[in-house]
Amino acid sequence: MKNFCLDIGNTRAKTAIFDQQKLEHFQYYDTEDALILPQKLDSIIYAKVKTLPQHWYEAIQKYQQKYPNTKIITLDARTPIPIHNRYKTPHTLGTDRLAAAVGAYALYPQKNTLIIDAGTCITYDFIDQKGQFWGGNISLGLQMRAKALHQFTEKLPEITINTNSPPHNLIGTYTEEALINGIVGGILAEIETTIQQYKAIFPNITIIICGGDAFYLEKKIKSTIFALPNLILHGLNSIAHYNASLP
């Protein structure tokens, strides 16, 4: 079974082609790019936190006209999924968070798992060993914190945090360094505190970090975690397989 999975985030989109569970092709997209779809897919599934670009919607519709047996799945609160969603307001739940939970349970079945998605926002979500998704918390991401410090002050500059740069000094000796130290240090303290709170209740909990800043933050976190930047895409693939198995 070959699936095309599309994760439309706040900053950019990611796509993956899966053959069964194997990721065959991965690509980043800007929303103005033309969407390239391979021939003879079994399904196209997408999760979005903002509106699907019109030219992508049209490309998907034209594809289905050419290949009518291809199943198109727009992930939302009504989509059948292979886990139990216990979120109290499922219609307000970001589909990226839901797909990440499915991906986590597919990769680590029967495990209590904390998912940290470090992108434009940072989300903390919990799925238990029975496959029940309970929800979590939402915080500001690296670049959003940097923009907020500039936007809501008169003199602080707007900075871009280079996630490929080495660590800075403990004490910021100039304003840009002080901002980076405060932003990164605050996020790391938040992540470590959250992990310890979950470990106090679930000592053997599995910790996964995904999203665009996953590798940058994973190197700085003291706790043992697994960095899986494409977790959402794996979750979308699992949802596509699950829907294909339904009568």
| Tens-place pLDDT, residues 124-139 | 999 999 999 999 999 9
Q: Is 182 within a domain?
A: no
pLDDT of res. 162: 83
Q: How many CB atoms lie within 10 A of CB 94?
A: 18
Residues 54-73, mean pLDDT to the nearest whole number = 94
Task: Find, among 196, 48, 220, 230, the residue nearest to 142 by Cα.
Answer: 220
- What SS3 class is residue 175? helix
Distance CA 162, CA 174 (A): 16
Q: Residue 239 belongs to a domain with what CATH number? A: 3.30.420.40
Q: Is 56 within a domain?
A: yes
Residues 5-12, mean pLDDT to the nearest whole number = 88
Tell me: pLDDT of 164 over 90: no
pLDDT of res. 137: 98
For the chain, percent of residues with pLDDT exceeding 90: 86
Distance CA 180, CA 145 (A): 10
pLDDT of res. 90: 96
pLDDT of res. 170: 84
Distance CA 240, CA 141 (A): 29
pLDDT of res. 166: 66
Tell me: pLDDT of 169 over 90: no
Q: Is 152 within a domain?
A: no
In the chain, the number of structural domains is: 1
Q: How many CB atoms lie within 10 A of CB 42?
A: 17
**Sequence-ordered list of residues with C-beta below 8 angstroms from that of 99, at least 6 positions apart, any chain:** 7, 47, 75, 232, 233, 235, 236, 239
Residue showing tokens 């390239």: 36
Q: Is 42 within a domain?
A: yes
Strand partners, 162: none
Distance CA 207, CA 240 (A): 25
Residues 156-179, mean pLDDT to the nearest whole number = 85
Distance CA 122, CA 118 (A): 5
DSSP letters for 47-97: EESSPPPHHHHHHHHHHHHHSTTSEEEE-STTS--SSEE--S-GGGS-HHH
**Selection from 176-185, 218-227, 230-239 with the highest mean pLDDT:** 230-239
Q: Is 40 within a domain?
A: yes
Mean pLDDT taken over the chain: 94
Query: Sorting pLDDT into bands at 50, 70 and 90, what band is 160?
Result: confident
Q: Is 129 within a domain?
A: yes
**Sequence-ordered list of residues with C-beta below 8 angstroms from that of 89, at least 6 positions apart, any chain:** none
Distance CA 238, CA 149 (A): 39
Tell me: pLDDT of 232 over 90: yes
Query: Sorting pLDDT into bands at 50, 70 and 90, what band is 51?
Result: confident
| Residues with catalytic function | 96
Tell me: pLDDT of 12 over 90: no
Strand partners, 15: 6, 27
Q: Is 167 within a domain?
A: no
Q: Is 179 within a domain?
A: no
pLDDT, tens only, 184-223: 999 999 999 999 999 999 999 999 999 989 999 998 998 9
- Ranking 59-73, 81-95, 166-180 by mean pLDDT, the lowest is 166-180
Residues 96-120, mean pLDDT to the nearest whole number = 96
Distance CA 60, CA 63 (A): 5
Q: What's the whole-model pTM score?
A: 0.93
Distance CA 247, CA 244 (A): 8
Tell me: pLDDT of 31 over 90: no
- What SS3 class is residue 6? strand
Owning domain of residue 91: 2-140+187-245
